[in-house]
A and B are shown apart, each in its own frame.
Chain A
């Protein structure tokens, strides 16, 4: 007898980036066309612009700059199905030491209290360690590296990363889609769960994530599919309980992040015929209170080649800041902060429910 009436899913080969697959969504204009067209152009759903205009927030303007987020390259050891960066081993966009030096000047003089390094897997940039060592000297209050955990186990040359992070008092923020193996591997690839668990244990051994430890270890949760994250505190409690009981792992905070409908996640939504429903869910969950503190109001994002963006998502859509200063070679914080933030319908992802940012909920 047939065990299941459902079609069997065959094991997928390792994905490639949209870019290397010549997928049309690798063209950012094509993505923007989708986000601005369809159910929004038909008037079925309101444009984000109109929605924030209702509460007097259009044009959206920055508050004080608090977070400097630098993307040091799109190369990654993983090819996650939901990745908004379209990162992967085949991506060659990597920040040079020269651009890093320009960034260091900015880090030394910025009014921001937080430096947030991201990627790709930032550790795969050949100058990553040099950059961290130099940046750590700038005395910034909170120095974050977004590490995907598996990189620590990917190759011998990365095995000492936990010690390296500890030496420079780096705040580690890591992705962990679920506390069960099945869900994690489905989103991020086979074997990701076991490697992530091992990496977390190693970080714990160095004191990372332990109660009262100043070595901060936070986890990022984002849904493995076409649905929004649930309550951040409830998820944190579930993660803490399960990881402690099953693997004796501890961490500080869990950030629940909504997947934004761009790049590979947009490709997935369209291919699985979930796009419209997902956009409905985002618009239905729109929370005006989240607009006040949406991430782009206190963050700027710098790309591997030194361009400046309102956020990492706008970076991936190639929407450079609407300012006279668009590149770090001309960096001037006052001029950049006096700008209108560029928005489109993907922004609903940051204002849904309790809101969503790289630091978790905002409302």
Chain B
């Protein structure tokens, strides 16, 4: 067993999850592959969305994977950082918008 929860080399083994549950594993990878094809959104746009989400869900594997994917697609570091900010803004906004609930509750309980 590795002595840490995250090992960068484990990313290469991602495909092996199908070995313990082939059918749904394959369905996932088919779906995953399809999602990132060119569509109404370009593969480039989807790569930036994936990078932003990777940061929000704080997945180190996904951050490695989509930084590399962005480089492969010619995405610049400025574009990557703006995508991370977009994710971060939504995440902090999601926290802050709950401030309204706090205000509502405060007002309801106060005379």
Q: Which chain A residues have a beta carbon within 8 Å of chain B's beta carbons? A: 178-180, 182-183, 221, 223, 225, 227-231, 234-235, 238-239, 280, 284
Cross-chain pairs A/B with CB under 8 angstroms, 11 sampled: A179-B74, A182-B76, A223-B71, A227-B68, A227-B71, A227-B72, A231-B43, A234-B38, A234-B42, A234-B43, A238-B74
- The proximity string for B residues 34-45 relative to A, scoring 1 for CB distances below 8 Å and 0 otherwise, is 000010001110
Q: Considering the chains assembled together, what is the distance between the CA atoms of A223 and B73 in angstroms? A: 10
**B98 on the interface (CB 8 Å rule)?**
no
- B12 proximal to A (CB < 8 A): yes
Chain A: minimal CB distance from B39 (Å): 13
- In the bound complex, how far is the Cα of B74 from the Cα of A183, in angstroms? 10
Q: A223 to B76, Cβ gap below 8 A? A: no
CB distance B43 to A225 under 8 Å? no
Q: Give the residues in chain B near A238, CB-CB below 8 Å.
A: 44, 74
CB-CB nearest in chain B for A178: B74
Contacts of A180 in B (CB 8 A): 76
Interface string of B64-90 (1 = CB under 8 A from A): 000011011110100000000000000
Instruction: Determine whether the beta carbon of A230 is less than 8 Å from that of B76.
Output: no
Q: Report chain B residues within 8 Å CB of A235.
A: 73-74
Q: Complex Cα distance A178/B78, Å?
A: 14
Closest 6 CB pairs of A and B: A230-B72, A230-B73, A227-B71, A227-B68, A227-B72, A238-B74
Contact B74 A280 (CB under 8 A): no
Distance between B43 CB and nearest chain A CB, rounded to angstroms: 6
Which residue of chain A has its CB nearest to the CB of B67?
A227
- B68 cross-chain contacts in A, Cβ below 8 A: 227
A231 to B68: give the CA distance in the assembly, Å. 14
Q: Which residue of B lies closest to A183 (CB)?
A: B76
The residues of A that contact B12 with a CB separation of less than 8 Å are: 280, 284
Instruction: Specify which chain B residues have a CB less than 8 angstroms from the CB of A183 in the assembled complex.
Output: 76
CA distance A235 to B74 in the complex (A): 7
